[in-house]
Each structure stands twice: as C-alpha cells, then as structure tokens.
C-alpha cells in the first residue's frame, strides 16, 4: 500500500481524495490545507485521515510515501522539491510549475533519487483521448497534418495566470501525447480586458519542423462554451467535441491527395469524403485511471503516461507563449 498525503483541499482536492481513497493500491494518510474549514470537511467524511494546516508536517510524515500537490501553481516547485528531498514520490496538479527551469530541476531531482514524479494531466486518461491516441498510433488517421483546438467559455478570471495557463494545459497535453516530436517554436497573441494586464483571450500557434501545425484558441470571455479539437490526418480527420455527452469523437473518412508531380506549379487537389464513424468510448472516470497509473508507476518504477517530461514540455510551451505575447507575437524558439 502506498501512503498518500494530499496538500491542498480546494476545488480539485476533493476529487483527488475520493479517487485515491477508492484506489486499492493507495491509502490516504494525511491531508494538509491552511484553511481549517476545508480540513473540517475532510474530517467529517474521512475521520481516519490525519489533518494538518501545515504542509511541512505531511512532508515529514513517515506514513506518507507519495505526496499529491493540489495548490496554486506558484507553490508547486517548493512543495515538490521538499517532498522529493524527503524521499516522497510526487504527483503535481497541472500546470506542473510556474516556469520550465523549475520543472526541469524537479525532474532531475526525481531522477537522481529514483522517485516517481508525475503531473495530473487528467485528460490523457479519458476514454476520448485514449481513442484518439489509438487512432493516431495505429496509423488509422495517417500522418498528422494539423491540430486545432478551441476552449472558450464564460470562465472565471484568474488573478495570477492568464487564460493560456488556465485552459491550454489540457489541449497541450493531448497534443504532446499524440505527437511525440518536439515543436520548433511558438507564436501567441492575446488581449487583457482587465487592469491587471492578464490576458483573458489568447491565441497560440505551435510550429514544427515537419509538415504539421497546432493552434489553440482560449478565452474566458465567450458567451458560448466550446471545447472542440480538430485533428487532421492525411487519411482521416477527427473531431473531438468534449461537450458531447457520449458522442465525443467523430472520425471522418475524409482526405485529399495531390494528383501528380506537376503540382508544384498547378496544384490539383482531389477530395475524398466518406462515412463518418462515432466510436464508443470508455466512460470510466479518468481521474481514477490517473491514480492507478500513478500507483503503477511507483510500484513498477516505470514512467507514467502523464510523465514529468510531458508536464515540463507543457510548461515550456506556456512559457514561450507568454514570451511571444509580450513580444507582440514574435516567434519564440524552443
């Protein structure tokens, strides 16, 4: 049994706690939160769990083998570092850290200590993303040509991070999961409608050295909620609409090809349109599967799917996007 200590019982903490509680390989030993009223909620429902307002207590608790960090992003680095230094495995809420230098340092520390370091990119564990991954990996949709994601909503304005840091990690993690090659560069633009200058609308392009492009449209200021990603392959194209209750994935047997070598002068593109196919997808709770992967990574000493490497790359892309916005959309090499 892996003894689990959870730091942070805010919005996401209760979900993490419930799923680790149900995980047969884990035993939740302690929860830390600076707010006494949050701890009371834990105590009522889980009387056996040790409660503390001081995260340090938990980091030094010998019952705790693995620490789950669900606090604001600015605090991730220091908490994770201390946990790793104390020999604890670590799961960090996404985004992993406030900058990529911190992320890399944590990765090196975990490596040197032989500890598991993982980032909670829950979306990777959804049935929908598993299906997309399968379609890409099996070659069914052919070489990837583009990835175009829209995640807009009337969303809570965050006081400390912009809309990309808030919303794009989901889609960036999916991108990095299905296209393993490292991007070349990032461009981003955006606008802040508030006095603090934090962007509430932003657009991000991720450029690659091969024949592929990714784009992200994020907004806290849309009257309609859209969570849609188009994933174009040379053979087929996928539309992933996360708001559909069950039909989240549509596979279009749609493609195009060039006719001949003469195309360089005069392009003649031929389209093919065919059936549409809506695969049934697994509806098991993604967060639960994430906790299973964390436990398996610890027990078997292997990298989890939502690896620190992937989490670090997400931070690198967000960091580059922020730099690009600050430099009026200039391309930022990675």
Tell me if 150 contacts a second copy by CB under 8 A. Answer: yes
Among 222, 285, 309, 334, binds a second copy (CB under 8 A): 222
CB of 227 to a second copy, least distance (A): 13
Tell me if 183 contacts a second copy by CB under 8 A. Answer: no
Among 35, 56, 258, 302, binds a second copy (CB under 8 A): 258
Are 22 and 75 within 8 A, CB to CB? no
Residue 42: count of CB within 10 angstroms of its CB: 22
Among 74, 278, 282, 300, binds a second copy (CB under 8 A): 278
Tell me if 213 contacts a second copy by CB under 8 A. Answer: yes
Q: How far apart are CA 119 and CA 177, in angstroms?
A: 13
Are 251 and 141 within 8 A, CB to CB? yes
Among 1, 276, 300, 326, binds a second copy (CB under 8 A): 276
Tell me if 315 contacts a second copy by CB under 8 A. Answer: no
Q: How far apart are CA 276 and CA 62, in angstroms?
A: 54
Q: Among residues 58 and 238, whose Cβ is nearest to a second copy?
A: 238
Using DSSP, state whether 212 is helix, strand or coil. coil
Tell me if 195 contacts a second copy by CB under 8 A. Answer: yes
Tell me if 101 contacts a second copy by CB under 8 A. Answer: no
Tell me if 254 contacts a second copy by CB under 8 A. Answer: yes
Are 65 and 3 within 8 A, CB to CB? yes
Among 75, 285, 331, 334, binds a second copy (CB under 8 A): 331
Q: Among residues 13 and 190, whose Cβ is nearest to a second copy?
A: 190
Tell me if 224 contacts a second copy by CB under 8 A. Answer: yes
Binding region for a second copy (CB under 8 A) out of 91-99, 120-128, 267-275, 303-311: 267-275
DSSP H or E segment with residue 58: helix 55-59
Are 239 and 250 within 8 A, CB to CB? yes
Q: How far apart are CA 220 and CA 162, in angstroms?
A: 10
Q: Cα–Cα distances in Å, from 225 out to 142, 169, 219, 282?
A: 30, 17, 10, 23
Query: What is the sign of the dihedral through the CA atoms of 16, 22, 25 and 31?
Result: positive
Tell me if 212 contacts a second copy by CB under 8 A. Answer: yes
Using DSSP, state whether 268 is helix, strand or coil. coil
Tell me if 37 contacts a second copy by CB under 8 A. Answer: no
Q: Cα–Cα distances in Å, from 285 out to 38, 119, 123?
A: 24, 17, 10
Residues that bind a second copy (CB under 8 A): 145-146, 148, 150, 152, 154, 156-157, 159, 185, 187, 189-191, 193-196, 198, 201, 203, 205, 207, 211-213, 215, 217, 219, 221-224, 230, 232, 237, 239, 247, 252-254, 256, 258, 263-267, 269, 271, 273-280, 324, 328-331
């Amino acid at each position: 049994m892996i003894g689990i200590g959870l730091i942070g019982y805010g919005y996401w903490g209760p979900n993490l706690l419930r799923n680790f509680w149900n995980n047969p390989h884990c035993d939740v030993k302690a929860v830390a939160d600076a707010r006494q009223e949050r701890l009371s909620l834990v105590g009522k429902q889980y009387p056996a769990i040790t409660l503390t307002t001081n995260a340090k207590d938990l980091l030094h608790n010998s019952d705790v083998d693995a620490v789950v960090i669900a606090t604001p992003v600015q605090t991730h680095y220091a908490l994770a570092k201390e946990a790793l230094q104390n020999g604890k495995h670590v799961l960090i809420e996404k985004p992993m850290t406030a900058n990529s230098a911190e992320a890399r340092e944590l990765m090196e520390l975990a490596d040197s200590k032989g500890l598991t370091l993982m980032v909670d990119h829950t979306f990777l564990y959804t049935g929908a993303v598993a299906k997309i991954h399968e379609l890409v990996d099996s070659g069914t949709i052919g070489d990837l040509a583009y990835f175009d994601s829209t995640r807009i909503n009337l969303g809570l304005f965050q006081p400390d991070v912009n809309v990309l840091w808030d919303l794009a990690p989901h889609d960036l993690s999916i991108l990095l999961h299905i296209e393993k090659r490292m991007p070349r560069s990032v461009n981003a633009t955006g606008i802040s409608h508030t006095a603090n200058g934090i962007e509430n609308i932003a657009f991000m392009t991720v450029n690659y050295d091969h024949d592929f492009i990714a784009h992200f449209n994020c907004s806290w200021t849309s009257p309609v909620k859209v969570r849609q990603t188009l994933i174009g392959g040379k053979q087929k194209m996928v539309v992933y609409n996360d708001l559909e209750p069950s039909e989240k994935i549509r596979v279009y047997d749609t493609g195009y090809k060039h006719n001949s070598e003469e195309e360089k002068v005069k392009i003649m593109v031929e389209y093919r349109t065919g059936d549409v196919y809506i695969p049934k997808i697994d509806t098991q709770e993604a967060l639960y599967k994430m906790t299973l992967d964390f436990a398996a990574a610890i027990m078997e000493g292997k990298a989890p799917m939502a690896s620190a490497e992937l989490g670090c790359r997400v931070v690198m892309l967000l960091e580059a996007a922020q730099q690009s916005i600050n430099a009026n959309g200039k391309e930022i090499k990675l």
